[in-house]
Structures are given as C-alpha cells and as structure tokens.
Amino acid sequence: MINVQIYRYHPEYDTAPYMQSKTLPEEFRKRMVLDALQYLREEDPTLAYRRSCREGVCGSDGMNINGKNWLACIKPVADALGTSNTLVIRPLPGMPVIRDLVVDQSLFFSHYEKIKPWLINDDPAPAIERLQTPEQRKQLDGLYECILCGCCTSQCPSWWWNPEKYRGPSALLQSLRFLLDSRDRGRIERMDGLQDPFSVFRCRSIGNCTWVCPKGLNPMGAIGRIRLELMKEST
C-alpha cells in the first residue's frame, strides 16, 4: 500500500487545518496524482480540489506534491514518491485556502490583469490579420505556452514576502510575452508599469519558479530579460 497524507480544511466544520492519513493500492504507482485524488474522493466525496482537462492544459489542478508544486494530472505517483512511500499533498503555498486543496487565486489573477495581457494596437485593423515574420513569431516561444496554473508564483518566496506589490513570475513571464510581440504598440505604458521598486525588482533570483514550472518554461529568465529591457530604457 502507498501512504497518503492529505491536507484537509473545511472552514465551516474545522477549527484548524489538519493532515488526513489515507492509503492507496500499489497499482497507483503507475498512475497520476490526479487519479489517486479521484480514487480518494470516491471514498470520501467531501474532498475538494480543482481539475478540468486532465491533460496539463487548463492549469486548474496546481498543488504541492511532496514539497514541490506540480499539476496533479501530469505528475506520476511513482515520480512524486521518489524513494519515499508517502505521498504528501497540500494546497499551493502562499495563497489563502478556501477548502482542502482549493486556494483563492484572486490576487494572483489581479497581477495578471495589471500587466494588460492583451495586444495594445490602435493601428487600423488589416483586412485579414496582423502578420508576423517567422522570426517575430519565434520571439514568443517559451512565453505563450504559460497556462496560468500559478505553480511558479505560489512557490516564489519574493511573492510570499510582497504578494500585493511584486507581480510574481507568472505575470512577468506574460508581461514579456506582450513586450516582445511585434504587433504590440504598448511598450511605453507596459514599461512604465514595471519601473517601480516592487513590480519586477523584488525578484531575488531564487529560481523556484523555473524549478517548478510544469510546462518547462523559464520565468526567471523572462524576469532577467525584462530587467535588461528596463535598463536599456533608462540609459
């Protein structure tokens, strides 16, 4: 049997969060953590977590699995266990818990909104579409793939320390995605929104963001590139 320790908290019934002990049949070593959660939920329908696509696309099942943020649907149980026989599942750290593994991501998404995640371009619309060269399009690789699961921002100590003011790695990766888009005309206002001492410069290059990104992206590299762009602006 595989041991499971799972974070439980129901604000209407529990005075404090607690870790609940469960077990899984051995065969779950070959399955994903989300399969294990679904099995446990069949035993106890009060267990709450988010999920939707089951394919690592929607970003809704980010959680902390044996100390590292991951998407439960694409994290194999055997991989999460390593040499241990206990699966420890907690909600994403640094975000208020609503219930069990469900966290409140309002602040996370408010930072995303602040970076203006849309093309700013008042040029008259062309007849068909705004074209890019293959080279211009290539600039967006490694950025557009972010699915906003929150794993990187939730594992970032700089964000834990200044969650209201520091944008966090996910929002900054998205910010670079628009700064580098050849169709965007909003560079000046985007850069103005990042010049203060907190939005970008509170990053301490710890690198947890890149360590945990389940899509293999490099938010720390993106933040470095933004810093470089900001320095170019100020010289």
Which residues here bind ligand FES, judged by CB under 6 A?
A: 51-54, 56-61, 71, 73
Q: State the minimum distance, in angstroms, from the CB of residue 72 to ligand FES.
A: 6
DSSP 3-state of 224: helix
Q: Give the residue with the Cβ less far from ligand FES, 73 or 226.
A: 73
Q: State the minimum distance, in angstroms, from the CB of residue 116 to ligand FES.
A: 25
Q: Give the residue with the Cβ less far from ligand FES, 183 or 215.
A: 215
Give the span between the Cα atoms of 137 and 215, in whole angstroms: 19
Dihedral sign for Cα 206, 208, 209, 211, please: positive
Q: State the minimum distance, in angstroms, from the CB of residue 213 to ligand FES.
A: 13
Pairing of strands 86-90, 97-99: unpaired
Cβ atoms within 10 Å of 28's Cβ, excluding its own: 22
Q: State the minimum distance, in angstroms, from the CB of residue 164 to ligand FES.
A: 27
- Is 99 in contact with 110 (CB distance < 8 Å)? no
Q: Give the residue with the Cβ less far from ligand FES, 33 or 209.
A: 33
**Encoded tokens for 27:** 């065969």
Q: Give the residue with the Cβ less far from ligand FES, 73 or 87.
A: 73
Q: Is 69 exposed, middle or buried (0-12, 13-18, 19+ CB in 10 A)?
A: buried
- Is 67 in contact with 88 (CB distance < 8 Å)? yes
Q: State the minimum distance, in angstroms, from the CB of residue 73 to ligand FES.
A: 3
Q: Give the residue with the Cβ less far from ligand FES, 58 or 191.
A: 58
